[in-house]
Amino acid sequence: MKFTAWAQTSLFSIVLSLSLSLSLLTSARAESWEWKDNDRVVFLGDGLLEQEQYSGWVEAMLVASHPDLNLTFRNLGWSADTPAGESRFGLSLLQAGREPEDEGWKQLCAQLELTEPDVLVLGYGMASGLEGHHSELEDQGLAQFRMDYQRLLDKTREISPGLRLLLLSPLQPLNDAELETTLRAYSQAIQQLADANGATFVDLADCAQQSELRKDPIHLNDAGYKELAREIAQQLGLDANRWLEHPNLDALLKVILRKNTWWFHRSRPANMAYVFGFRKHEQGQNADEIPQFDALVAEEEGRIAQLRAVSKSSISQPEPRLESVFAEFEPQAIPEFTLGDELEITLWAQNPDLNKPIHMNFDAQGRLWVASSEAYPMIEVGQSAPDKIVVLEDTDDDGVADQSTVFADGLLIPTGVLPGDGGVYVAQSTDLLFLKDTDGDGRADVKRRVLSGFGTEDTHHNLHTLLWGPDGRLYMNQSVYTRTDTETPHGVVRLKAGGGFRYDTRSMRMEIFFRGLWNSWGHQFDSFGQSFLSDGAGFAGIAYSFPGATFNPTPKARQQLDLISPGNWPKFDSL
């Protein structure tokens, strides 16, 4: 006999009420929380904790508040994740559609076993609440969240006996009363779980409720994470501001962020399909490199240990990493082309004005924006992010680019670039970035993560083909061996194989435009607004696309469309 969602919820409530009334388990008071020397602290959750790795404020607060304790941190947050590990589905890197049903859960458990936490800081609820809020089965979603969360708490204590648990509520959204009601229900469920499991609960309902502390209505910006750190400090009985006076705070933040970078490459390496997955026969020799990041993490933790001393400290600077410079190139011979009648081809730009371009787009001024990647297909151990966005311009109108400017550097395998909205959008690793020059010096001084959670399991399938559509929305594609899970203010978007998205940069609403194709590196609209795609690996030619179109390969699709150019074709792009 199967329980209904109502019955499951009722049973959970009865058991929970009994637990509370009998006082078998009581929640720890937040203000009485104590940290211990050599605690390994693991952050686990959805976008709230994933994005903390880019600010470092919460970790810096805990380190600066406890200068006599050796606290170490690992971030396992993942955009749009749930307590069932939904965003981790795909990490076994079998071909799309062949993954086991519980793969996300198994991968979540494996990552906890790798990190061996003494303290687990859980930040779930936003992604689950967004999915539940936009579902007709909202009550069932909340019931499932409770059960999955309890299973996770049970499993974590099995993995790490004696584990201490710190449960964060989700943030409350800005200017969305209906979503706020939903998220308050999830917050209440988390507090009940904390009570029933002897965990400590931190309520973030009133945290960072000003728009200047948010990058969008549901996510914090850097200033917001600083406020989050203050809120957590206060609720844990620490001085909310004294840690900000730590004499080495700036240096601590710098080293923490560098440590987080090495840990990101260790825990979420790019190109995993080739390194560990079903294509490891091609690059499996690189698997030995990934654990080598552990030494770099430990090196930075040694610096953190030096810096946490209250007195002003100077520490040894890290050895220079492999940096990127454009090498000098000899002019290359122009290749021979077979051209149609009345066509002409001339050289417009070459090395060293650009190097290893992956994607390019012109702006309204006729400048060519180029995503250039020297790290592709994967970064080397100890290598600083070397990649760039370069702007090429023909200033004297002679048909040849004579000016090359590095607009942004320090990027990690940018696979798409598109000028617009007063700056430029860049697809990079797990993120869609927005870069902007605000002081007119030709270099980006603003960097904002617009969306996160894009897959990197096969770097030549990463988010790509950025294009403005005739409807003013931003279109972008991914290829078959990547898995995307991203949080937006309007809901969670998941795409576990190839396909395309369209995103309204004004309303922040995102949806899947089409599904399928092996490697859709070509997309164009004609003068009637019709959409055409080319598949760089399918050998079947051109696809006529429209909202909801589904092509081969789409796992578990009921029906798939044929392409409009029957036959077998070599790889090509579209224009």
Answer whether residue 109 is part of any domain. Answer: yes
**CATH, residue 407:** 2.120.10.30
CA dist., res. 427 & res. 414, Å (int)? 6
Answer whether residue 330 is part of any domain. Answer: no
Cα atoms found within 13 Å of the Cα of residue 333, Cβ hemisphere only: 3
Answer whether residue 491 is part of any domain. Answer: yes
Phi then psi for residue 139, to 5 deg, are -65, -40
Answer whether residue 361 is part of any domain. Answer: yes
- Domain extent for 45: 33-255
Q: Do 361 and 486 share a domain, yes or no?
A: yes
Amino acid identity of 526? D
| 390, 405 Cβ separation under 8 angstroms | yes
Answer whether residue 322 is part of any domain. Answer: no
Q: Do 244 and 363 share a domain, yes or no?
A: no
Per-residue model confidence (pLDDT) at position 492: 97
Q: Do 250 and 363 share a domain, yes or no?
A: no
Q: Do 115 and 240 share a domain, yes or no?
A: yes
0.85 exceeded by the pTM?
yes
Starting at the edge strand found earlier in the chain, the sheet holding 474-478 runs 464-468, 474-478, 499-504, 509-515, 549-550
| pLDDT by 10-residue block (mean), the chain, 575 residues | 42 44 50 92 98 98 97 98 91 62 91 97 97 76 96 98 97 96 97 97 97 98 98 97 96 98 95 79 81 97 93 60 53 83 90 90 96 92 94 94 96 97 97 98 97 94 96 96 95 95 98 95 95 89 95 90 87 66
Answer whether residue 487 is part of any domain. Answer: yes
* Residue after which a domain boundary falls, among 255, 284, 306: 255
Answer whether residue 58 is part of any domain. Answer: yes
Answer whether residue 160 is part of any domain. Answer: yes
Residue 561, exposed/middle/buried by CB under 10 A (0-12, 13-18, 19+)?
Answer: middle
Per-residue model confidence (pLDDT) at position 133: 78
- If you compute the radius of gyration of the chain from its CA atoms, what whole number of angstroms results? 25
Look at the block and give the residue holding tokens 């728009």.
Answer: 211
Q: How many helical (H) and strand (E) elements, i.e. helices and strands, does the chain have?
A: 12, 25
* Residue after which a domain boundary falls, among 201, 220, 255: 255
Amino acid identity of 518? W
Total of domains in the chain? 2
CA dist., res. 370 & res. 356, Å (int)? 9
**CATH, residue 228:** 3.40.50.1110
Quick one: which of 338, 405, 341, 340 has its CA closest to 367? 405
What's the first-to-final CA gap in the chain, in angstroms? 57
Q: Which residues of 399-433 are buried (b: 16+ CB within 10 A; e: fewer)?
A: eebeebeebbbebbbbbbbbbbeebbbbbbbbbbb
Per-residue model confidence (pLDDT) at position 7: 44
Q: How far is CA 265 from CA 121, 188, 219, 285, 384, in A?
A: 21, 35, 23, 17, 11
Q: Do 248 and 364 share a domain, yes or no?
A: no
Q: Do 107 and 226 share a domain, yes or no?
A: yes
* Residue after which a domain boundary falls, among 255, 279, 294: 255
Q: Do 397 and 521 share a domain, yes or no?
A: yes
